[in-house]
Structure 1
Amino acid sequence: MPSTIAVTGATGAVGGAVAHLLSEAGIAPRLVVRSPERAPSLPDAEVVQATYRDGAAAEAALAGVDVLFMVSASESSDRVDEHRSFIDAAARAGVQHVVYTSFLGAAPDAVFTLARDHWFTEEHLRASGMGHTILRDSFYLDFLPMLAGEDGVIRGPAGQGRLAAVAREDVARSAAVVLQDPAAHAGQTYEITGREALTVPEAIEVIREVTGRGLRYVDETVPEAYESRRVYGAPDWEVHAWVSTYTAIAQGQLATITDTVERLTGRPPLTLRELLSQSRAA
């Protein structure tokens, strides 16, 4: 009997792409979403409403599901608690295998503070008794142009550190492969990266060449980075996350290049230039 595959985050970029890829492969996924009216319209797909915080609703939504694609929740001060609640609901519902989108270098002492959240989520998933595959995604390539403020400046203490960012499209393609044969990937932790590692100035130069945007980089000190972000009035945990994105780059924690995407999908991941060119041609 074919497995029932549930996809969370289907109203977002990665989850939505995974849902479409499964549909194209002839699989009708169950889409677990907060807002059913925003779910993609796919042939024979079932749409159910649940949130990570509501354990009872999540358990009901996952009843009869064999394989679950769990996109990490929106960043928040209690995201780990949300993740734990949802993982527990999945276990109670009888889910056999969870594919979770984590972050490259997840560890309890990771420089990028949000990577610590992913580590604790991974540990809870490992202890759940369910089969699992962890996709440790690098920073998303798609977000690089969005780092610039309204003044066209990317500010942060990244120095000359390198970043092997990965396109969301490549993350989705990798996840779709794993979801269709989870037993072949059981217990695996995959580092999902791009095929080049760029400094922030190098990335800006590519963006300039392809899009014509006049971006520039200001290499802040750490105190300057905190000061420049004070105007947003964000909570401390969020400001620490913003700044530590750059310090993680500076310290080389996001420079890792792997061939995981090509091994899983048979196609190399997109470079920044290829992604931007593809977007302009669309």
Structure 2
Amino acid sequence: MGGMEPPTNALQIMFRGKKLEFINVTGLILHGKFYFGSEGNLEFNHCAVDNLKCRELDIPRLSFENCSVRNIQIANSDISGWLFVTSLVSGIISDSKLFHFRVYGRNFTPTFVNSELDEWKVIHNGLHHEEDFEKTYRTLSKAADDSGNRKLAADYKIRELDFIREKKKGLDRFWMTLNRAYWGYGQKPFQLIKVSLISIFLLAIVYSFFPSSFANNALAGKNYFAVLFNACYFSIVTFTTLGYGDLSPIGGLKILAAIEALFGAITLGFLVAGLTKNS
């Protein structure tokens, strides 16, 4: 009986450079290595690709635009260059490596198990996205943290809270903005060192404008650079709450020094807490 056996790369040839639109491919199973060559990738546009199952998959340049990709299951795969544009994605990704993924809008919330991700690009501004798109950032932050990539996890945590901040109004938004600038919502404790140094120097400049506001005229009659040097010293010991007492402010400057000491104590406390949390 005659017949013809298809080549092993039949699917690559069939789908190479193809754009599938408005079709239902629910339950699609992809297995093995695919290579589409220079003729383009496989694109899904306005498709239902739910229950997509990928095992031991090595396939680059797959894109989903305005698709439903719910309950995706990816296992033991090495994947790069996938693109999700305003698509709804959920499911589970296990024992896989995913690189150069791009997620533009809608929502991407699969559970990652023992998987590695790197060089992802996620954008929601100007694109259709779910109201709770912060879940996308939260998902990726947890996945990065579980894989040991603390820096990437912190970046996505900050973006999650930035998204939440965008939805806030009034004082809530103001306090979140301060929190962001102060120490990156706790994700960047070393940022407090920069905040501290800037605060110390700016307050030192303020102190230097009032050399006569120190007890016993300790700074009176000195040239400006000598006054500024001593003002920096005073600002440092005040901020760190050391308070040696050799320079003592009088008048209204006492209030400013007290505020600096309080701010310094709070900042140093946050620094210790942040370093402990992120260690």
TM-score, length-scaled by structure 1: 0.21
Higher RCO by CA contacts (8 Å cutoff, separation 6 or greater): 1
Larger radius of gyration: 2
TM-score, length-scaled by structure 2: 0.21
